[in-house]
Amino acid sequence: MLLSAIKENDNNETRVSISPESVKLFSRLGFEVIIENGAGETSGYQNSNYEEAGAKIVTRSECLKADVCLCVRMPSSDDINNLKSNSLLIGILNPYENKSEFSNLNENKISSCCMELIPRISRAQSMDVLSSQANLAGYRSVIDAAEQFGKAFPMMMTAAGRVNPAKVMILGVGVAGLQAIATAKRLGAVVSATDVRAATKEQVESLGGKFIMVEDDEAENAETEGGYAKEMSEDYKKKQAQLIAETVSKQDIVICTALIPGKKAPVLITEEMVSSMIPGSVVIDLAVEAGGNCPLSKMNEIVVHNGVKIVGYGNVPGRVAKDASALYAKNIFNFLSLLIDKENKKINFDFNDEIINSVLLTHDGDVRLEQFK
């Protein structure tokens, strides 16, 4: 079996779908591994690193003819049309935004797997791309905030006087939010966090943060079966906005991480709230690619509003591309291990497997996932 990894065409994408370390793992599954020339350069991996691990460096057209093709983002229509018929495409394919490509995938009988749809169940943890990438995004968001903030994070006692610690607030306590809390605490900040899910209170406090939330009956059922936050009612949103407004004005740094899969990101910080913050404060909007938790955010820009910086970097995991690529490649390896019939050296889809049924978007000329039909 031939497995390939293609170079990403998106200028904002610095990650690659395979690392030199994972080449050896894929080889153990029975694959011959080929990599597009220069595919790993933006992640810090040279062609020679892959060759030393046992991979071959080839052209893009050769990669597209492999039995299994790995990518980070959905390839272009031209690339999809050049994929080998009945082959397997694995990546973060964003089916909510890429429905126009379904017909191309089906016409070429491409089986496609969306890694971001891996279910949040215990046996799928090692395959959970959203968690591995969000962890790094949460970490990097605090580093970016520290870079833009004109003061120190920890309290310092000096002969010349005391430096007060930075006050950091995290909006949204998912994987990214928890890592942001942990990183900000390690840097010495005073940290608070809010989320619609009451179940996150214990997690926040275990990391040394202060938990703030709107407490009413709706908050008790604010989590989906998959562990994600639900979209809340307008009444709840008003209460939440009031709570955030009262707290944000006292913060030095606010990190927004709230996302709802397949929907526009909820607005959590209004222009009025930003105006209430002290000049020199920083807002990091990790939801900018989904419309932003702050209406002032702009993709890949730092907007200054009344002296407050609103940072809207896209693809934040790609800002630590080497680690993000390594974790992503391992996620794919763990998932692909499920599909391999080791005796016959071929791909085998077990349609009784909950994980496979959750991520297999197209197969045998048809869209399989009901939510995208």
**Residue 260 banded pLDDT, cuts 50, 70, 90:** confident
Instruction: Quote the pLDDT of residue 224.
Output: 58
Query: Is position 131 annotated as part of the catalytic site?
Result: yes
CATH 3.40.50.720 residue ranges in the chain?
Answer: 2-117+320-365, 136-314
Instruction: Quote the pLDDT of residue 229.
Output: 58
Instruction: Determine the Cα–Cα distance for residues 302 and 308; give it in Å rounded to an integer.
Output: 10
Task: Identify the active-site residue in 43, 111, 128, 133.
Answer: 128
**Residue 102 banded pLDDT, cuts 50, 70, 90:** very high
**What's the average model confidence in pLDDT over 261-271?**
89
Query: Is position 285 annotated as part of the catalytic site?
Result: no
pLDDT digits (tens, 9 = 90+) for 5-38: 999 999 899 999 999 999 999 999 999 999 999 9
Neighbours of 358 (CB within 10 A): 17
Residue 109 pLDDT > 60, yes or no?
Answer: yes
Instruction: Quote the pLDDT of residue 262.
Output: 81
- pLDDT above 90 covers what percent of the chain? 83
Instruction: Quote the pLDDT of residue 28.
Output: 92
pLDDT digits (tens, 9 = 90+) for 131-175: 999 999 999 999 999 999 999 999 999 999 999 999 999 999 999
**Residue 206 banded pLDDT, cuts 50, 70, 90:** very high
Higher pLDDT, 227 or 37: 37
Residue 70 pLDDT > 70, yes or no?
Answer: yes
Instruction: Quote the pLDDT of residue 219.
Output: 53
Instruction: Determine the Cα–Cα distance for residues 270 and 244; give it in Å rounded to an integer.
Output: 10
Q: Which CATH superfamily is domain 2-117+320-365 in?
A: NAD(P)-binding Rossmann-like Domain (3.40.50.720)
Residue 215 pLDDT > 70, yes or no?
Answer: no
**What mean pLDDT is reported for the chain?**
92
Entry pTM: 0.91
Nearest Cα neighbor of 31 from 367, 247, 340 is 340
pLDDT digits (tens, 9 = 90+) for 287-339: 999 999 999 999 999 999 999 999 999 999 999 999 999 999 999 999 999 99
Strand partners, 2: 32
Instruction: Quote the pLDDT of residue 261.
Output: 80
Query: Is position 228 annotated as part of the catalytic site?
Result: yes
Task: Identify the active-site residue in 22, 87, 111, 131.
Answer: 131
Strand partners, 308: 305
Residue 220 pLDDT > 90, yes or no?
Answer: no
Instruction: Determine the Cα–Cα distance for residues 139 and 304; give it in Å rounded to an integer.
Output: 23
| 210-212 sheet: strands from edge to edge | 210-212, 190-194, 167-171, 253-256, 282-285, 308-311, 302-305
- pLDDT above 70 covers what percent of the chain? 95
Q: How many residues are there in the chain?
A: 373
**Residue 242 banded pLDDT, cuts 50, 70, 90:** confident
Q: Which of 29-43, 171-185, 237-251, 257-271 has the lowest mean pLDDT?
A: 237-251
Query: Is position 371 annotated as part of the catalytic site?
Result: no
103 in the Ramachandran plot: left (φ > 0), alpha (ψ -120 to 50) or beta?
alpha
**Residue 226 banded pLDDT, cuts 50, 70, 90:** low
Residue 237 pLDDT > 90, yes or no?
Answer: no
Nearest Cα neighbor of 69 from 147, 7, 122, 124 is 7
Task: Identify the active-site residue in 61, 76, 125, 275.
Answer: 125
Task: Identify the active-site residue in 67, 228, 337, 358.
Answer: 228
**What's the average model confidence in pLDDT over 282-287?**
97
Residue 216 pLDDT > 70, yes or no?
Answer: no
Domain boundaries 136-314, corresponding CATH code: 3.40.50.720
Instruction: Determine the Cα–Cα distance for residues 149 and 105; give it in Å rounded to an integer.
Output: 46
- Give the DSSP per-residue string, 65-92: TSSEEEEEEPPPHHHHHHSPTT-EEEEE
Task: Identify the active-site residue in 120, 249, 337, 358.
Answer: 120
**What's the average model confidence in pLDDT over 361-371?**
94
